[in-house]
Amino acid sequence: MRLFDFHKPGVTKVKDQLEKNLIKLQTLLDELEGTLLEEVSQLSRARINPVSLQVISDNKSRLLAAINFYDEERKHAEKNAQLYIPYKNNARLATRWEGITLVLRRASDLNQRSNQLLEIHMERVTTLRKLIVQTGNMPSLYGEDGDHSHHHVGNSYRISV
């Protein structure tokens, strides 16, 4: 005897809801992938536009919150229908899940690339800050009163030929 008869209206409704959740997850993940592509593009440039990067970051946060919501809904629907990933007994759901896992892999790769690019930019900023601090510690050409300093910077050599 089977616990669930998938031909019963209640179970079919839960299964349909599960499929709708998977479709919504796929749509959101596709949108996230596009956002990650744009982020990698922005971070690949020599100069970053902070406003554009903030818009991308906000969009990612919104998408991740929605993905989390629909993933929780998926888990709830799975529990009610007693169907679990990778949905071996349901070809339609299995195909949808396979599509989701492919997008997840691509999004993960893009996210790792984005992280690498961000680290490169952060290293450049750190190096630049060190140079600025070093430059600020060098003796100035002018004294506090605005007169020329008589301290010589560097070495001077008298060479006669």
- What pLDDT is stored for residue 40 in this prediction? 98
pTM attached to this predicted model: 0.74
| pLDDT in the model for residue 139 | 62
- Among 99, 116, 108, CA closest to 36: 108
Domain membership of residue 148 (yes or no) is: no
For the domain that residue 116 is a member of, what is the CATH number? 1.20.58
For 129, how many CA atoms within 13 A lie in the half-sphere containing its CB? Answer: 6
User: Helices marked H in the chain — which ranges?
Assistant: 9-43, 50-81, 91-136
Within-domain flag for 161: no
* Digit-coded pLDDT (tens) for 105-125: 999 999 999 999 999 999 988
> Does a structural domain hold residue 149?
no
Residue 109 lies in a domain: yes
Domain total in the chain: 1
Q: What is the pLDDT of residue 6?
A: 46
Residue 60 lies in a domain: yes
Q: Pick out the chain residues at pLDDT < 50.
A: 1-6, 161
Q: Which domain holds residue 52?
A: 9-136
Res 54: pLDDT: 96
Residue 4 in any domain: the answer is no
Look at residue 156 and tell me if it is in a domain.
Answer: no
Q: Does 160 reside within a domain? A: no
Q: At what angle do helices 50-81 and 9-43 cross, to 10 degrees?
A: 160
